[in-house]
C-alpha cells in the first residue's frame, strides 16, 4: 500500500490589496482593464457580496469607456450566466458560474473558446474544473480583516505576461 501524496499547497498571493470602498474598487478595476488584451482570463472568487461583480463591472466599464460607452448598462450575469460586450480592444465576456454544476455547463456556454480570443471575467471559477485556463489572473475577494470597512483582495498570477496588470493594480490600491 502506497501513501498518497498531500495536495499541493495553495500558491501564495502575488499581491494583497485593501479596497476600503467602492471608489477604490472602481479605480482598481480601471487600472486592471488598462492592461488587458484578448486571451486574458481574470477569475474572481469570494463569498456572495464580496465584490466580484463590482470589480468586474468596473473593469468592463473602463474598457467600454475607451470609445465613450462607459455609461452603458453592465448587468450582473447571475441569471443569464454570460454577458458579452464589444469594447474597442476586443470581445469581453463576464460569466457567473454560480448556478452551474460543473465543467459540462462551461463547455456548453462556449467559455473555452472565449478564453482563447476574448477578455474574460469569470465569477465562481471553481466550476471550471479542467476548463480552467493555464494562464490566468486569480482575484480572491474577502471582507477586510479586523472588522474594517472594505475588502481584502489577494491576487495570484498563473502563467506569464501579468507584470503590467500586477504593477497597475499595486499602484491603484493600498497594499494590505
CA distance 84 to 55: 16
What is the pLDDT, as a whole number, of residue 1? 45
- Enclosing domain of residue 29: 15-172
Per the DSSP assignment, residues forming a β-bridge with 153 are 17, 141
Q: Are 38 and 89 in contact (CB under 8 A)?
A: yes
In-domain check, residue 89: yes
**Helix runs in 9-137, H state only:** 22-33, 52-64, 103-109, 111-117
Q: Is residue 6 part of a domain?
A: no
For residue 103, tell me if it sits in a domain: yes
Per-residue pLDDT, averaged over 151-158, amounts to 95
pLDDT at 87 over 70: yes
**Domain for residue 7, yes or no?**
no
Task: Tell me the CATH number at 135.
Answer: 3.40.50.300
> Is residue 109 situated within a structural domain?
yes
Shortest CA distance to 55 belongs to which of 112, 96, 87, 101? 96
The pLDDT tens digits of the residues spanning 14-60 come to 899 999 999 999 999 999 999 999 999 999 999 988 899 999 999 99
pTM of the model: 0.90
Pairing of β 15-19 and β 82-85: unpaired
pLDDT at 6: 58
CA distance 81 to 104: 14
DSSP state of 159: S
59 inside domain: yes
Q: Determine what percent of the chain falls in helix, strand and coil, rounding each to the nearest 5.
A: 35, 25, 40
Q: Give me 164's grid cell.
A: 503590467
Residues in the chain: 176
Predicted pLDDT of residue 7? 56
**Is there a domain that residue 10 lies in?**
no
Residue 33, in any domain of the structure: yes
Q: Is the pLDDT at 13 greater than 80, yes or no?
A: no
**Which of 99, 123, 145 lies closest to 45, judged by CA?**
123
Query: How many structural domains does the chain have?
Result: 1
Amino acid at each position: 500500500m502506497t501513501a498518497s501524496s498531500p495536495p499541493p499547497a495553495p500558491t501564495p498571493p502575488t499581491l494583497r490589496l485593501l479596497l476600503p470602498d467602492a471608489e477604490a474598487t472602481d479605480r482598481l478595476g480601471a487600472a486592471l482593464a488598462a492592461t488587458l488584451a484578448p486571451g486574458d482570463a481574470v477569475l474572481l472568487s469570494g463569498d456572495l457580496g464580496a465584490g466580484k461583480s463590482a470589480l468586474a463591472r468596473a473593469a468592463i466599464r473602463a474598457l467600454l469607456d475607451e470609445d465613450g460607452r462607459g455609461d452603458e448598462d453592465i448587468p450582473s450575469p447571475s441569471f443569464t450566466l454570460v454577458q458579452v460586450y464589444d469594447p474597442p480592444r476586443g470581445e469581453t465576456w463576464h460569466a457567473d458560474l454560480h448556478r452551474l454544476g460543473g465543467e459540462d455547463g462551461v463547455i456548453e456556454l462556449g467559455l473555452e473558446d472565449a478564453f482563447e480570443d476574448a477578455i474574460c471575467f469569470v465569477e465562481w471559477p471553481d466550476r471550471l474544473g479542467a476548463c480552467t485556463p493555464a494562464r490566468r489572473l486569480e482575484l480572491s475577494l474577502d471582507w477586510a480583516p479586523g472588522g474594517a470597512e472594505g475588502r481584502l483582495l489577494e491576487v495570484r498570477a498563473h502563467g506569464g505576461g501579468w507584470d503590467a496588470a500586477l504593477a497597475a493594480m499595486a499602484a491603484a490600491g493600498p497594499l494590505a
